[in-house]
Amino acid sequence: MFTRRLFLAASLLLVALIPAHARAQAQADASAHVERGLARLLDSMEAAVLAGDPDACLALSDLSEDVFAQEQRNWAADLEDHAPETFELNLGEEPLQLDGEFAVATLTMTWNMPDRKRRRVSFPARFTRGDHGWKYAGEHWNRVEGELILALHADGLDGAARLVVEVWPEVRRSVNEQFGITPDDGLLDHVQQVKLYGSMAHLQASIYLSYADEHGGLAGWNEPGESIKMIARGRLSADRLRPLLSHEYGHVCAFAFGPSANRIPWWLLEGLAEAASAPFSRTRRMSEGVMQRVAARDNLAPWQSIADFENTPPEFAYHVYRQGHHMVMYVDEQFGLDRRNQWVRAQARGQSLDEATRGVFGISFEELDRRWRETLQPEPVQVPDEDPDRS
């Protein structure tokens, strides 16, 4: 009797174990199938990048989300002029996270550009499955949401993301007022994405592979239609965050003025962004002091030398921010914010710098520049006349 009961119990246990084993095997088979599909995708992405083929690269990307789609288009477009010499994509060894039609895995990207050292970044990446196989969908982010704000962050940056959501209403209100943007405009009534990166290398790689911080001190990034991207290292306080976030949101506001906004001179775009951050920082005082010293040494940058991000000499990189900001401050004081914003809007809608200056201020940009330079000259020292009665 005992033997029969023991045999029956063992049989029941075996029956109970078979479905669990089958489920585990099915999961392992599904994971292996996904890994093979992702391996084919990564091979195709490597080939597209090395060939400098933006269209092939985009065909392998999931562009269903607007912000990532614009960022990926800009990332891929750079490949036509700056294809890397080597480029490798590898998945981490940890198990894939599978959920229906998407998968998450650690992706390591390794590459080197001509005459540059080898670079590498790793991050959790998201992949989606469509009718024609797997596609790359960018980083897999953690999320913190607020009113008209979505903070997307890497692991370990949840505190910084919550701080972004906390200070956003104050920053948004301040910068919108400076740019004359109201709720009735409908210009910026969308949810603003902010992406927080834990390293400079990751932020740069998300812009495009050839990006190198030749201008120094990259802390944030924004282009039309993209998220605000920022570094969030160390203990990020509200006092440190407000100037960074308002500077980048200043770019968002300028870009909202028209389809040609990205062709506005670089010094003016950065000057506007510095002005946007001034209520939360010391940039106004810095720009005033720096430009007085620069002018005294006769070392002002020619405006055309700091007008183009790609072609600005490294020695003039600092001038882009300080000289650009000082000119914006001068325009604000002489003409007021309303006319300043008209000036920027005219350029964002296709007018040249000189055309916009003549149309809004009634003078040429050459004349505006001359008047601005006069403000940088030291005040003449008043020497009293000699007393004729003294010898």
What is the model's pLDDT at position 289? 82
Report d(CA 290, CA 294) in Å as an integer: 6
pLDDT at 2: 43
Each residue's pLDDT, cut to its tens digit, for the chain (391 residues) gives 444 444 344 443 444 455 666 656 656 666 788 999 999 999 999 999 999 999 999 999 999 999 999 999 999 999 999 999 999 999 999 999 998 889 999 999 999 999 888 999 999 999 999 888 999 999 999 999 999 999 999 999 999 999 999 999 999 999 999 999 998 888 899 999 999 999 999 999 999 999 986 555 688 999 999 999 999 976 789 999 999 999 999 999 999 999 999 999 999 999 999 999 999 998 888 888 888 898 889 999 999 999 999 899 999 998 999 999 999 999 999 999 999 999 999 999 999 999 999 999 999 999 999 999 999 987 554 545 544 443 3
Please give the distance of CA 190 from its chain centroid, rounded to a whole number: 17
Domain extents in the chain: 260-382
pLDDT at 246: 98
CA distance 265 to 234: 33
Contact 254, 261 (CB under 8 A): yes
CA 88-89-95 angle, to 5 degrees, is 150
Q: How far, in Å, CA of 189 to CA of 116, rounded?
A: 42
- State the virtual CA torsion across 171, 173, 179, 183 in degrees, nearest 10: 140
Report the greatest alpha carbon distance in the chain. 140
